Chains A and B, each alone.
Chain A
Amino acid sequence: MRDQVKRFRSGELRALGEIAPRAIKIALAIAAAALALAIVAATFDEQGPRRFFFSYLVNYAFYLSISLGALIFVALQHASRAGWSVTVRRLNEILAANMPLLAVLFLPVAISLFLPRWCPFSWADAERAAGSELIAHKRVYLNVPFFLIRAGVYLGLWAWMARFFLSRSVRQDESGDPELTLQMERFSGPAIVLFGFSVTFASFDWLMSLEPEWFSSIYGVYYFSGAAVGSLAAVILLAIALQSGGRLTESITVEHYHDLGKLLLAFVVFWGYIAFSQYMLIWYANIPEETTWYLARQTPAWLWASLALLLGHLLIPLVGMISRQAKRRKAILGFWAAWLLAFHWLDMHYLAMPSLSNARFPLGLVDLGLLVGLGGLYVAGAIRVAQAASLVPARDPRLGEAISFENV
C-alpha cells in the first residue's frame, strides 16, 4: 500500500548537533543585551523598578505558559496512548524540561516581594494593603513565606514531572523498552491531576493576586487555555524552524502539522469559550467587586487591547484557520502560530498590567527588552536540554504509527 512507501528512513538529522553550542552563545548574548536594555529603560521610566518587575512577571508568565502547555501535552498524549503525536512529543518534552531554568528565573519575582514599594503584588506592601479588610482576610493565604513555599512546591513539582517524562523517554531511545512507555502512561494520570491543581493555584498566586481584592474561580482554566494555545503555537514554530534547519525532515509530516493546527484551533476556541464565560457571568451579574477587573480593562487606554484580544485571539484566527489548507501548508500555519503567540503574549500583558496602570497602555523598551531577554535565556535553556537528546523518541513503539498516519 501507499503508506508502506512512506516508511520512515533513518537518514534524517535528528539531533541539533554542532550548531547547539553556537546557538546557545548567540541566545545568551542577545539575552544579555536585551536585559541590559530593559534595565536601562526601566531606570528612565517614571514608575521605575515597579514597572520593571511588572513587565518581568508578564514575560515570565508567558514563557512559563509555553513550558506548562508542553508538559500537559506530553501527559495527555501518554494518558490517551496517542500514536500520531510521537514525532512531536520530544519537542514538547524538551520545552517542558526547561522548568529548572524557569525556577531560577522565578527569583526576581521572589525578590520583589521583599521590596514592598516596587513589588507588583500590592498585598505584599503594607502601605498599599493598609485599610483593606479583604486583604486582611486573605492574609492567611497571601503572605510572603507561604507564597514562596507554594511557588517552590509548584516549580519543584513541574520540574520533577518534566524530568520524569524526558528521562524515561530518552532512556527509551537507547533501550527501546516498551515498559518505559507503560511507566509514563501510568504516571500521566496522576500527573494531570497534580498539574491541574498546581497550575490553578499558581495562576491565582502569580497573576490573580495582583488585584488581591478580585477573584474568579475560572481563572486557572483561563490561564491553562492560554498556555495550551501558546505552547502549541510554539511547537509548530519550533518544528518549522527545525525542518528549515534540516532536522526532522522525514518524521514530521504534513499530517502532524495538520493535527497540531487542529489542536491549536480547538484551543483558540476553548480559550474564547472560557474568556467569554468569565466575561458573561461577571457582566451579567454586575456585582461591583467583580466588575472592577473588567472596568480597569475598559478604560480608553485598555479597551483596544480587550477588543484586540477578542479579534486577534479568537475571531480572526478562527476564520483564518478553519480551512483544511490553512493547517496543511507550513507557511500559512506558521503565520497563524506566530500570530497567536503574539496575541498570547498580549493576553498575559492584559492579565497583569492593568493593575500597574489602567490610565495608559504600557508598552515600551522595558517590555521588549524583557521579552527578548527572557526569550534568549529560554531558548538557550531549551537548546541545552535538547543537546543531550535526539529530537524524536527514536525507539518509541508507536513511532511507526506516527510516521505512517494520515488524516482522512
Chain B
Amino acid sequence: MADNVPQLDSSAGALKVAAAIGRFASAGALKAAAEAVRDEGYRHWDAHSPYPIHGIERSMGIRPTVLPWLVFGAGLTGAAVAILLQWWTNAVDYPFLISGKPLFSLPANIPVAFELVILFSALAAFAGALLLSRLPQFHHPVFASEEFRRATCDGFFISIEASDPEFDEVKTTGLLEALGAESVELCRLPAAAPRLPRAFYTAAALAVCLALLPPLGVAWYRAAPKRQPRIHPLHDMAFQPKYKAQAASDLFADGRAMRPPVAGTVARGELDEDPRRATGKDEAGNYVTSIPLAPGAAIDKAMILRGKDRFRIYCAPCHGLAGGMPEGAAGEDAEKWQGMVSIRAARRAAGGEGTWTPPRVLTSAYVQDQPDGKLFETISRGVVNQEVRTMPGYAVQIPREDRWAIVLYLRALGRSQNASAGEVPPPVREASVSEEP
C-alpha cells in the first residue's frame, strides 16, 4: 500500500502535512481500528462515517457530552424568564385587570412558560451541539483529500492530525495500513492559512455602507423638521372616508350630508302630555291666556329671574334690555333703548345697506295685549311679515321651559314700563326719588 502515499504536485513546496487519513471497509472495521488508535495514545484524531455508528464512542474513548446539562440549564432559564416576565409585566409594571383573572395568574402563565422552556432548551441543544462540535468549521485538513468526499457517502475513515504530539508521517501511515485501511493518504495544506483577497474586504465594507443608506435615509427623514406634512405611506386610521358637519353630499336629493330628523320626531324628554305647553294653544286651537305649568311647578321669583336671564341673552341684542323705547320716552335718544344688533342694522340701513325692520317694542300695548300662548308661539317660531322674516324662531336655541319663563318676564317688563307710582314699593320709590338730581 506504499503507493497510496500521495504524490506531491508542483506546488508542493508551499504545502505541509496536516493530517493522515485511512479508509476502512466497514463500520465494524472502523470500530476495531478506532480502538487500536485510541490505545496508541493519539489524541488529535477522529473517526468519520456516513452515519452514526453505535458504540464507537466507547471504542474511541469519547466522554459523554455535557449537552444534556446545557439544555437542562437553558430550560430552567426559560422557565424563570417566562414567569418573571409575566409577573413583572402583568402584575407589577402594567397591572390591568382582565376577565376577572388575578393579575398574577399562574395557570394562565403556564402555556407561555412551557413554550419558553422548550424554546430555550431547543436553541441550547442546537447551538450547543454545533459549538461543542466546533462547527461551523469550513477549513479542515481532511477536506484536502478527494477521497475523503466518500465519508459522507459510503466511506469509513480515520483521520489523525499532524498537530498530535504522537504524529509521525511514517509511523502514523504505517499504523493505519497495519490496521487494515484500504487506502491511506496524507492531507497537505498550505503552510500559511489561506487569506481572502483584499478586494473581498473592500467589497464587504462597501456593501455594509450601502446597506446602511436606506435606514439612515429613513431616520433622517423622520428626525428632520419639515414644513409640509410627512408622507403617510400607510394611512392607518388617520384618513377615513366620512362626512364632516355641513358638508355636501351627492347621495341625497337635497344635497346635504347632515340629515334632518324624520318628521314627527320628538327629542328625548320633549314628549309632553299637555299639548298646551308645547304649542301655546289649547285643544280648540285658541291661544292660552295663562302660562300652562308643568305638574308641580309654580310661578315664582326663580322663574322670573330665569326668564330675565334668558331674555338678556336671546332677546335683548335686538329688542334692548328694557324691551324697546316706550311711547312716553319720545324725544330721548332712541339708540339708548335699542339692542346692539338693532342699532348697527339701523345705521347700515340708513347708509343704504340692506333693509331693517325695527323690532317691536315689547312693552307696547300691541305686544302686551297678546295672550301668553301667542307670545310663546312668536318666540318659538319667529315672525314672518309679508313673506319677509323679521324675527327668527328660537325653539331650537331655547328650551321650552325657558321660553315660558321669557313670556313671564315679558309680562313683568310690560308691567314695569306701564306702572303707576303707587305700584312701586315704598322703599324703592323713595330711593329712586332721592336719586333724582
Contact = CB atoms under 8 A, between A and B. Distances in A.
Do A and B contact each other directly (Cβ–Cβ < 8 Å)? yes
Interface in B135-156: none
Nearest to A279: B107
Nearest to A286: B100
B110 A284 contact: no
Main secondary structure, interface of A, reads helix
B108 interface: yes
A408 interface: yes
Contacts of A286: 100
Contacts of A276: 107, 110
B54 A408 contact: yes
A161 B190 CA distance: 73
Contacts of B100: 286
Interface string B43-80: 00000000000100000000000000000000000000
A114 interface: no
Interface in A272-311: 276, 279-280, 283-284, 286
Contacts of B110: 276, 280
B54 A283 contact: no
Contacts of B99: 284
Contacts of A279: 107
B107 A280 contact: yes
A284 B54 contact: no
Nearest to A324: B68
Interface residues of B, number: 7
Interface string B88-103: 0000000000011100
Contacts of A283: 107
Contacts of B101: 284
A45 to B, nearest CB: 36
A98 to B, nearest CB: 38
Contacts of B108: 284
A279 B110 CA distance: 12
Contacts of B107: 276, 279-280, 283-284
A353 to B, nearest CB: 24
Contacts of A408: 54
Nearest to A280: B107
A147 to B, nearest CB: 35
A76 B101 CA distance: 42
B113 to A, nearest CB: 12
A160 B101 CA distance: 49
Contacts of A280: 107, 110
A279 B107 CA distance: 9
Interface in B160-184: none
Contacts of B54: 408
A276 B113 CA distance: 14
A201 B235 CA distance: 57
A284 B99 CA distance: 9
A408 B100 CA distance: 50
A276 B107 CA distance: 9
A276 B54 CA distance: 39
A265 to B, nearest CB: 15
A404 to B, nearest CB: 14
A283 B109 CA distance: 13
A13 B110 CA distance: 49
Nearest to B114: A276
A284 B108 CA distance: 8
Interface in A95-124: none
A408 B56 CA distance: 12
Interface string A241-279: 000000000000000000000000000000000001001
B79 to A, nearest CB: 12
B410 to A, nearest CB: 64
Nearest to B52: A408
A280 B110 CA distance: 10
Contacts of A284: 99, 101, 107-108
A130 B198 CA distance: 93
A280 B109 CA distance: 11
Interface of A: 276, 279-280, 283-284, 286, 408
The 9 closest A-B pairs by CB, nearest first: A283-B107, A280-B107, A408-B54, A279-B107, A286-B100, A276-B110, A284-B108, A284-B107, A280-B110
Interface of B: 54, 99-101, 107-108, 110
12 contacts: A276-B107, A276-B110, A279-B107, A280-B107, A280-B110, A283-B107, A284-B99, A284-B101, A284-B107, A284-B108, A286-B100, A408-B54
Given A276-B107, A280-B110, A284-B108, 9 more contacts: A276-B110, A279-B107, A280-B107, A283-B107, A284-B99, A284-B101, A284-B107, A286-B100, A408-B54
